[in-house]
Amino acid sequence: MFSGRKLNWIVAMRLVGCIGISCPIAMGQSMPASQHGPVARVSVDLVAAKTVAQSAKACLGGTELLAAIAGKGSGKAAWELRSGQAVLVRGLVMLDGQGHGQASIELPDVRHRAKAMLSVRDVARTRLRRIDILPAAMLRNVSVTLADHEVGVLDERGIVQAALKAQGVACTDLDPQLARDYFGGGIVVLAGFDNPAMLADACDRFESRVQQGTSLIVINPPIGWEALGMRRVELAVPTVADVSLARSIGLTVKQTDFPWPMSANALKADPDAEALIWFETPGEAEGGGLAARYPLVLARPLGKGVVLAATMPQLTDCYNDPIGRCVFSEIMMWILKRSKVRKEQQ
C-alpha cells in the first residue's frame, strides 16, 4: 500500500487560489496530524461495469481521506486529487491478491468550501468521486472575539470542547456545578444530555443570565425536553421535504448537505422565535392544505439574550462530522453577529 506524497502547498495555493486554500506556514498554524484528527472514508470500485451515482463526499480540510479501492486481482491503481485542472496530490496503490488497496490522502486546509475530484484508474477503467472540502476552523478568525465573550461548555462527552479546541477557541468546562452556577461568560453551550429533566434544569439555572444578555445554545435536546419557552416535538417523517437555511447561517453548508429523511423531530417555540434551519411539508395539491414549517435550528429572544436550540443528527458529533462541525461553527458565528447588532443598536 502506497500513501500519496505531499504536494508543495505554497505551489498548490498559486494553482488553486480561487478555492481559498490556506498555507499553514503563512497562517502561523501547523497542519493537524491526520492520525489525531477526523478521518473520512470513501470507496472506489474499479470492477463494476456500471457505477452508481453518489453524492459528494464532505470532508474537513487538513484531515485525512482514506479511499478503499477495489480492482481485479493484484496490480496497481493510480489516483489523484484535482481541483479544476490543478492536481493537488497524487499517488499509486498496490492492490493485493483480492484486488483490494487503500490510498491515504492528506486534504489541504481551506478557508472556504472547495470542490475537488478524486480520480482512480487502472489499466481498464477510471472512476471519479466528487469530494467537497469544508473549512475545519471557521472560528479561527473570531477566536479573539469569542474569548472576549467567554464561552462555557457543558458536554460530558467532550465533543463540543474538542470542536472548539480544534479551531483555536478557548472555553470553560462547566461540568462542576460550582462552575455552572458562577459562570459569567456571554455564551453557554449545553450538549450530550440524555435526560430531558436534567437538561431543563440546566437551562433554567441560566435563565436569569440569559435575561441579562447571555446566549444559551442547546445542542440535540432529548425527547421530552422543554425549557425557556422552547421544546422538542416528535412527528411523522414526511415522504418529501427539503431542508432550508436562512441566509444568515448558510455560509458553508448547503441544502443538499442534508439528505432526507433527517429525523423524526423538530422544535417549537413562541411566535417571536426565528427559524435558522427548517424543513417544510408540501401543501395539498388542491385547495385548503398549507405547507407546515418544522424548525431544526430555532432561536428565541429572552430578555437581552437568546436561547438557540438545534436538533440535527449531524450535530451529534460536531468534531468528526464535517457538516456538523460547520453547522456548529455557523451557529457560533450567528450568535456573534447577533451580539454585534444588539451592541450597535444600544
Give residue-wise pLDDT tens across range 65-113: 999 999 888 889 999 999 988 999 999 999 998 989 999 999 999 999 9
- Contact at 8 Å (CB) between 329 and 139? yes
Q: What is the pLDDT of residue 59?
A: 96
Q: At a CB cut-off of 8 Å and minimum separation 6, what does 70 contact?
A: 43, 44, 45, 46, 47, 99, 100
C-alpha cell at 66: 482514506
Q: 116 and 165: one domain? A: no
Q: In degrees to the nearest 10, what's the CA dihedral of 168, 339, 200, 272?
A: -140
How large is the average pLDDT for residues 214-240?
89
Sign of CA dihedral 165, 171, 176, 180: negative
Q: What is the pLDDT of residue 313?
A: 93
Domain containing 310 — which CATH number? 3.40.50.880
**pLDDT tens across 302-322, in order?**
999 999 999 999 999 999 999
- Contact at 8 Å (CB) between 5 and 12? no
Q: 206 and 254: one domain? A: yes
Q: 166 and 227: one domain? A: yes
Q: What is the spatial distance between Cα 77 and Cα 298, in angstroms, rounded to a whole number?
A: 47
pTM of the model: 0.85
Question: To the nearest whole number, what is the mean pLDDT of the chain?
Answer: 85
Q: 161 and 125: one domain? A: no
Q: What is the spatial distance between Cα 85 and Cα 83, in angstroms, rounded to a whole number?
A: 6
Q: 171 and 221: one domain? A: yes
Q: 169 and 286: one domain? A: yes
Overall domain count for the chain: 2
Bond prior to 222 in cis (omega within 30° of 0): no
